[in-house]
A and B are shown apart, each in its own frame.
Chain A
Amino acid sequence: MLKRTALYASHQQLGGKLIEFGGWEMPVQYTSITDEHQAVRTAAGLFDISHMGEVTVSGANAEAFLNAVLTNDIRKLAPGEGQYTLMCNERGGVVDDLYAYRLAPEIYLLIINASRIEPDVAWLQAQAAKFGGDLKLTDASHNYAAIAVQGPAVKDFINAVIPGASTSAMRVNAVTELKKNQVGGFKFENHNVLVSRTGYTGEDGFEIVGSDESIIHLWASLLAAGKPFGLKPAGLGARDTLRTEVCYPLYGHELDENTTPIEAGVGFFVSLDKGEFNGRSVLAEQKASGVKKKLVAFKMAEKSAPPRPHYPIWINGVSVGQVVSGTQSPTLGIGIGLAYVPAELAKPGTPVEIEIRGKRAAAITVPKPFYKKA
Chain B
Amino acid sequence: MSTVPTDSKYAKSHEWIRVSGDTGTVGITDHAQHELTDIVFVELPAVGRKLKAGEASAVVESVKTASDIYAPVSGEIIEINPAIVDNPALVNTEPHTGGWFYKIKLSNPAELGALLSPADYEKQIAG
Bound complex: CA of A52 vs CA of B62, how far in Å?
27
Tell whether B66 is near chain A: CB-to-CB under 8 Å.
yes
**Quick one: given A28-B64, A33-B64, A237-B64, are A357 and B59 in contact (CB under 8 Å)?**
yes
Q: How many A-B residue pairs have CB under 8 A?
A: 39
Bound complex: CA of A328 vs CA of B62, how far in Å?
8
Bound complex: CA of A31 vs CA of B43, how far in Å?
24
Whether A328 pairs with B40 at a CB distance below 8 angstroms is yes
Closest partner residue, chain B, to A37 (CB atom): B63
Bound complex: CA of A133 vs CA of B63, how far in Å?
50
In the complex, how many angstroms separate the beta carbon of B16 from the nearest chain A beta carbon?
A: 22
User: Which residues of the partner chain B approach A328 to less than 8 Å between Cβ atoms?
Assistant: 40-41, 61, 63
Bound complex: CA of A237 vs CA of B38, how far in Å?
11
Q: Which of A33, A303, A304, A357 contacts B63 (CB 8 A)?
A: A33
Tell whether A29 is near chain B: CB-to-CB under 8 Å.
yes
Binary interface encoding of chain A residues 255-299 relative to chain B, with 1 for a CB under 8 A from any of its CBs, else 0: 000000000000000000000000000000000000000000000
User: Which residues of the partner chain B approach A32 to less than 8 Å between Cβ atoms?
Assistant: 37-38
Interface centre among B38, B59, B63, B85, by most A CB within 10 Å?
B63
Near A by CB (< 8 A), chain B positions 36-88 give 37-38, 40-41, 43, 59, 61-64, 66, 85
Question: Count the A residues whose beta carbon is within 8 Å of the partner chain — how many?
Answer: 17
Q: Which of A29, A34, A305 contacts B41 (CB 8 A)?
A: A305
Whether A33 pairs with B41 at a CB distance below 8 angstroms is no
Closest partner residue, chain A, to B63 (CB atom): A33
Whether A241 pairs with B63 at a CB distance below 8 angstroms is yes
Closest partner residue, chain A, to B86 (CB atom): A303
Q: Which of A29, A241, A327 contacts B37 (CB 8 A)?
A: A29
Interface centre among A31, A34, A308, A330, by most B CB within 10 Å?
A34
User: Which residues of the partner chain A approach B64 to less than 8 Å between Cβ atoms?
Assistant: 28-29, 33, 237
Binding site for A on B (CB under 8 A): 37-38, 40-41, 43, 59, 61-64, 66, 85
In the complex, the 7 A-B pairs of residues with the closest C-beta atoms, listed nearest first: A328-B40, A33-B63, A32-B37, A305-B41, A34-B38, A305-B61, A32-B38
